[in-house]
Every structure is written in structure tokens, then in C-alpha cells.
Structure 1
Amino acid sequence: MLLIDFISTSNSSLGERVNCVCHQCGKTFTSLGGLKKHQMTHTGEKPFQCSECGKGFTAQGNLKIHQRIHTGEKPYQCSQCQKSFSRLAHYKDHQQTHREEKPYHCNDCGKSFSYFKSLKCHQMIHKGENLHHCSVCGKGFAIRGNLKTHLQTHTKEKPHQCSECGKRFSRAHDLKKHKLLHTGQKTYHICQCGKSFTELGNLRTHQRTHTGEKPFCCSFCGRTFLRAGDLKSHQRTHTGEKPFICAICGTSFAQSGNLKVHQITHTKERPYPCTVCDKGFTTPGSLKLHMRTHTGERPFLCSACGKGFTASGQLKRHQECHMRDTVQSSPSEDTGVAVASK
């Protein structure tokens, strides 16, 4: 039951004004409805529930906005690029991307921003600052939105559902990419080398392989990286952080891929079968290596003798033999006589 400490009224030329005060925090409201809505933040009450996923909200308007996730409704359309948004705030933020003036520049990578707060948020990527931490596993994130997405890996929540096939996703971006499978629509961003990408971000990352740009710098050792994700993974070698924990045995890992490979030791699953001999493998890389035993492919060639190998490790060991032979057959500094190799 909602409690109200007092309701005071005062007469004025504009009519009667009502002041409703919250008994818990002292905040004042001009209407009883406003007070009741506010007090739900103290009681935790969420009377408006989504019929699709069961998520609760304190206000009907918030529920209506949330339901657009399921319906795919995006009523706010940009008149300049036709991009649509489900929230008015996101639409307004997007409109600023069309502003010509971007006075705030990142000193690390040169990227420009319309707002100072956008620059500050971006700079956290370079600094590796993690201000927002997961209450379940302790993993840190530079951006609150990324933490919110990460929490869904613990709750298994997948609020974004495909209207065509019913498949669910934890991120709206993943749903959007999935829908392209149904529509057949593909937007290609083409690099000067001819390689094409469906994601503009992937094109920009790829272009750094041409320019040599590595804008993400490790604050511990100064090593630089092409991608923010690569920097984050690398920094764990300094911090010792192992945020990916096996739910079965409790073993922790620095990389999510290593956890996935480890989990197969419990399930005995071999999800990657060979189409030639039906042998199963735990990783795509293991399968690819095995397939070369059937195809005879030896893509790793020795520059000294031309011999080919199926794996880079085999080539590396082979090249060490050439290096040893070179050292053993080199002339002696004192006598100038070649030392015969045994």
C-alpha cells in the first residue's frame, strides 16, 4: 500500500495546486498519480507486464516502447537516410550524426564526435577503462549498454524474436542481421582491394590492415591492436583476469573460445564431423587441419627448400632444421674453416 506523508493545497489565481510528498525520499509531486508512479521505484512494483516475455514495467508507456522489440515497430524515421528507430531518444541521437560539425576529436585514432560526452565514452575503449561491472561474474565494461547485453548471457534472456521463424536473440543487432537471411537483402561495403563486407564496422577494421593503423594501445606494455576486443583480451595477460567460468567444474578462462573448447571435455561432443570419413572434431580448426589429410593440401611452404606442410607448426619446426644446418656449416671465426655437420 502506498503511503503519503501529507498533501498540501494552496489557492492561486490559476486554481488549486496539490503537493504530494513521498514519505521515503521527500520528493514532491504536483499530482497523486505522479507520486504513485514514483513510489514504485521504492517498492519495486512493476504492474505492466509484457505478454511476450513477461518483463515488467512501472509505466504503461515504457511497456509500449519495450513491445516494439517484439513487433519490430520503428515509428521514428530519419528524413535524411530513411533509417528507423523504435525510441524517440535514439532517433534524436542519430540525427546528430548528420551534423557536419564534429568538433570533438579522439587523439588516439582521430575519430570525431558531435558531443563531448560521446568522445569521453569512446576514449574508454582506448584506455581500457571498465566502469560498469557485472554483479554475477565481475566482468567490466566501458559502456553501460554493453553490460546490459552481457547480463543476458547469465539470465539467458533473448527478448528479440524473429517474426519469420521465431528464433530469438539477445541483441537487436543480431536479429537485424538474421532477418537478412529471410529477405535476401545484403548491403555490401567494398574495400579498395575488392573485398566486400556486409558490416561497415568490419570494413573499417579490415582497412586498417592496409594502413597499418592499430589505434588500441595497451596501457601496461604499449602493444597496439587493430580491434578493441583484441586489446581487451590481451590485457587479461597482465591482469590475470579469467571471467569465463565453466559451470560444471569451475575452471576459469581468459577467453570465451577456450571455455567453449573446454566444455566439450564434459559433454564429449564433437560437433564438427568430417564429410569424408565421419570422424568428429571439437573445433572448426581441428576439422580444417584434418581435411588436408584427404585433400593433400599443404598450404605452408618452406621458403628455403619449397617443401609443403599441412600445419604452420610443422613448417616452423622444419625451418628450425635449416637454421641449425646454417649455423653448423658456417665458417669458424678463428680459422675460417667450415665446421662439418654431423
Structure 2
Amino acid sequence: HTGERPYRCEECGKSFRHRSTLTIHHRVHSGERPYKCPECHKSFKNSSELVRHGRIHTSERPYDCSQCGRRFGDTSQLVRHWRIHTGEHNHPNPTCGKSFSNRPRLTNHRLVHTGEKDYHCPDCGRGFNRRSNLLVHQRSHLEQKPFICLDCPKSFTCSNQLIQHRQIHSEEK
């Protein structure tokens, strides 16, 4: 472990320890996403992203909080959650002083002050502050429900709806 990074990207100059990591990195520039989810057909640049994504459909949550027992699909979600217990909120909003546990939550909160809705539905014109919210909304027009419950015939337009629904089945057991 010398820290040597002999594999260099010709496009951006970033260096890597392993050739395989450089190969995956090249996909950032090429846009190639060869790993496709068989459930919803979303594509990913490496297999680990596909595996992590797959947990949305299966509701698998292998990482649990030692403090409260809540379970998560990946370690980054667990780390974010852990901040609830530690009280760590080191991302303050200069406009109102409210503080957040991570930058994406702060960024999302700022839209409350600006009211910006840059993403508009081409079918009905409804505006959204996030692209992901627009994409979920568009599924309602197409009647796409790729998130399927394994315990009953219900399906949902977004993963949060499935996760909320699955609590019904966990209470039944």
C-alpha cells in the first residue's frame, strides 16, 4: 500500500490504483451505463450501484442502527440517520438559521425560501423543485408502477410508497 496511483484518466487527469477502477471512471465521461435493473430498467455504471439500487425493489435493508434498530439499504443512509442520535447538524441555512444534517437536505430546504420550480411536467404543466419529483409524477400519467410488493399484488410509482406500504405486512407478522 504505497499510495501509488499509476492509472491516469487522459480526459480529466484523475489517477487510480487499479486499472478496473479507471475503467469504471471512464464511464463518467462516456456516459456508458452497462448494468441495467431488470425490474425498472434504470442503468448504472458499475455492478455495486446496481446491487444497492436493487434493494429498493426487494426492500432489503441489511444495515441496522445499533441505537434504535432502524434498518437501511446502504451505509450512507445509515450514516445520515446516525446524525439523528448524535445531534450533528453542521449545515446551517444562512437565510433562516435552521441547520441540517447533510448538504442535500439543506439544498432541498432552500427551495422553501425561493419557491423555485424549475422542472415542469410536459403533460399537465405542474412544477416541481426537483427532477426526481417530476419523474415520479410523470409515472402517474403513464400509470407506471415499477415498485412491486412481494407480499401482495400492489405496486407503486415510487420506492417511498412501497416502503410505507410494506409496514402493513411487517405489522401482520
TM-score range, shorter chain: 0.7 to 0.9
Which structure has the larger Rg? 1
1:115 is matched by which residue type in structure 2?
N
1:119 counterpart = 2:55: no
TM-superposition CA deviations, 1:140-185 (whole Å, max 9, x none): 1111111111122222221212244432112211211334466x48
Residue number in structure 2 paired with 1:316: none
Task: Tell me the equivalent position of 1:188.
Answer: 118
| Number of the residue aligned with 1:198 | 129
Q: Is the 8 A contact 2:111 2:129 kept in 1?
A: no
How does 1:4-19 map onto structure 2 within 5 Å? Answer: none
Residue 107 of structure 1: aligned partner: 38
Q: Does 1:156 align with 2:87?
A: yes
Deviation per CA, 1:61-108, whole angstroms, max 9, x where unpaired?
A: xxxxxxxxxxxxxxxxxx9xxxxxxxxxxxxx9985553321111111
Instruction: Work out the CA distance in 2 between the residues paired with 1:233 and 1:201.
Output: 18
Deviation by residue 1:278-316 (Cα, 9 ceiling, x = unmatched) = xxxxxxxxxxxxxxxxxxxxxxxxxxxxxxxxxxxxxxx
- Which amino acid is 1:116 matched to? S
Task: Tell me, yes or no, if structure 1 residue 172 matches structure 2 residue 94.
Answer: no
Match of 1:3 in 2: none
Displacement, 1:221?
A: 1.7
Post-superposition offset of 1:202: 0.3
| CA deviation map 1:3-29 (0-9, x unaligned) | xxxxxxxxxxxxxxxxxxxxxxxxxx9
Counterpart for residue 157 of structure 2: 226
Runs of 4+ more than 4 Å apart = 93-98
TM-score if structure 2 supplies the norm length?
Answer: 0.76
Shift of the 166–131 alpha-carbon distance from structure 1 to 2, 3 Å rule, reads same
Mapped to 2, the partners of 1:240 and 1:172 lie a distance apart of: 34
Q: Tell me how many residue pairs correspond in the alignment.
A: 151
| Aligned-partner Cα distance in 2 for 1:234–1:166 | 35
The whole-number CA distance in structure 2 between the counterparts of 1:109 and 1:190 is 23
Question: Which residue type is aligned with residue 151 of structure 2?
Answer: F
Provide closer, same or farther for how the CA distance between residues 169 and 95 of structure 1 changes in structure 2, counting only shifts above 3 A: farther
SS of match in other structure, 1:158: coil
Do the aligned partners of residues 95 and 197 (structure 1) sit closer, same or farther apart at CA in structure 2, a change above 3 Å counting?
Answer: farther
Alignment RMSD (CA, Å):
2.7
Unaligned runs of 5+ in 1: 1-28, 31-78, 80-92, 242-342
Aligned partners of 1:154 and 1:240: how far apart in 2? 25
Distance 2:117 2:30 in 1: 24
Deviations for 1:87-141, whole angstroms, at most 9, x for unmatched residues? xxxxxx9985553321111111111111111111101110100010011121111
Q: 1:95 to 1:146 in 2, by over 3 A?
A: farther
Give structure 2 stretches of 5+ with no counterpart. 3-11, 13-23
Aligned residue for 1:130? 61
Q: Quote the Cα distance in structure 2 between the aligned partners of 1:110 and 1:153.
A: 34
Q: Deviations over 1:34-55 (max 9, x none)?
A: xxxxxxxxxxxxxxxxxxxxxx
CA pair 181-210 structure 1, distance change in 2 beyond 3 A: closer
- With a CA cutoff of 8 Å and minimum separation of 6, indicate the structure with the bigger relative contact order: 2
Identity %: 37
- Select 1:143's aligned residue among 74, 86, 89: 74
Q: Is the 8 A contact 2:61 2:73 kept in 1?
A: yes
